[in-house]
Structure 1
Amino acid sequence: MAAKLLTTPEVAEQIRVPEATLRYWRHMGLGPRSAKLGRRVVYREDDVLAWLDAKFEGDAA
């Protein structure tokens, strides 16, 4: 089964941060894993969930 891909606006809404914050985190290497497909940045839903789980487990990143 293919991973569900999310756009920057979708991830920002899901984790309740402004899109600009998510873009900044991506630039600094602090946010969930992402990939650039053409001009669009996408996130695998599983990576976003894993990143959130790490935050709740006390990951400092």
Structure 2
Amino acid sequence: MGLTSASPGTVSGSRFFTVEEIARRYRTSANTVRYWRQIGYGPKGVKVGRRVLYTEAELERFEGSLAVATGEEAE
């Protein structure tokens, strides 16, 4: 189960995002994303070596939970 040569940052068709990419997505700092991970908030990451990576499916799950928490309908 290695990285596919077709697209960097994917494994078996799943796209993975770095802490820095998550920070840009949510318009916050990388340190805030790291803090979220420490306190158990935010999308659940997967530790790969020394890096923490996040799947697109996990980001969608987290965003859906935010929509429910704020009373909005998930699209």
The TM tier, using the shorter chain, reads 0.7 to 0.9
What residue in structure 2 maps to residue 57 of structure 1? 68
- Point out which structure has higher relative CO (alpha carbons under 8 A, 6+ apart): 1
Q: Distance in 2 between matches of 1:56 and 1:16?
A: 17
AA partner of residue 30 (structure 1): Y
What residue in structure 2 maps to residue 35 of structure 1? 46
What residue in structure 2 maps to residue 11 of structure 1? 22
Equivalences, count: 59
TM-score (norm 2): 0.72
RMSD: 1.3
AA partner of residue 13 (structure 1): R
AA partner of residue 15 (structure 1): Y
What residue in structure 1 maps to residue 35 of structure 2? 24
Provide runs of 4+ in structure 1 moved above 2 Å. Answer: none
- Structure with higher Rg: it is 2
